[in-house]
Amino acid sequence: MSAAPAESIRDVLISFRLDGRTSLVTGAGRGLGRAMALGLAQVGSRVMLVDVNPDDLTGVEGEIRNAGGQVASTIVDVGDEEQVRTCMAETVKRLGGLHVLVNNAGVTSRSPFEDLALEDWERALRVNLTGTYLCSKYAARVMMAQGGGSIINLASMSGLVGNRGGDNSHYCATKGGVIALTRSLAVEWARHKIRVNALAPGYCVTPMTDRLKQRDPAFYQELIGRVPLGRFGTGQDLAAAVVYLASDASAYVSGSVLVIDAGYTAW
């Protein structure tokens, strides 16, 4: 009896391409969201940019269009169900489907928990967790009809460990919720061929960390000193990871939390 033929290996680089697919990125106007949107466009994806700030979106949309990419943008409050529902329908209409969702929109603030205002607690829940729920819910309906897709949630290392000195336990709670939701949906939607994964970044260079650097430079330097690789992450670090989870390169990956923290949580 002859041996079974060996499985053919697809070209690894080709498996990272997203030609013919549409990706939607929330919080795409600046920082890590901008970098992830640009990364998805670079590997051939059509991109719908979503943010609450129209001025930020204009610049990113222009960057992608000038590079020859297909892009659209819309203003959406991810905590508003009707706006999210309309956004998903608009994405399908303008860009021909929805194959990748990146739930990146997020907010935080600093306060000792015993002094935390209820409005700050509710704002973090509304954007970070309810926004992920609403966008995933309506994106999944489109993906189910198409035969599958990839949802990538932005969690945080702060959803895995206590954030020493951060004074943002409300933010940590929402990111822990995002991780639990990611794992649960990966199981629930597997039958629809929808993969659900999360990224858990460590400290990254963002407008929020830039403000911290200006407000408390000593604490900022202390944070860098806690990172084994000795630097904060960049948009490029996140963009590469998002492309991996969005593409066929990660076809057998679902329910995973990819920690991108330069070794911070390994200590």
- Domains defined for the chain, CATH in brackets: 16-262 (3.40.50.720)
> Considering the entire predicted model, what is its pTM?
0.94
- Please name the residues in contact with 51: beta carbons below 8 A apart, sequence gap of 6 or more: 26, 27, 28, 29, 30, 33, 57, 73, 75, 76, 105
Retrieve residue 218's tokens.
């000593």
pLDDT in tens, 220-233: 898 899 999 999 99
Retrieve residue 97's tokens.
């489907």
Active site residue 171: yes
pLDDT in tens, 186-208: 999 999 999 999 999 999 998 77
Least Cα distance to 74 among 118, 135, 128, 15 occurs for 135
pLDDT in tens, 51-60: 999 999 999 9
Dist. CA 40–CA 64, nearest whole Å: 10
To the nearest 10 degrees (0 to 180), the angle between helices 169-188 and 131-146 is 20
Phi-psi region of 60 (alpha: psi -120 to 50; beta: other; left: phi over 0): alpha
pLDDT in tens, 58-110: 999 999 999 999 999 999 999 999 999 999 999 999 999 999 999 999 999 98
Dist. CA 87–CA 27, nearest whole Å: 13
Retrieve residue 100's tokens.
């990748």
26 DSSP assignment: E
Active-site position among 133, 138, 171, 264: 171
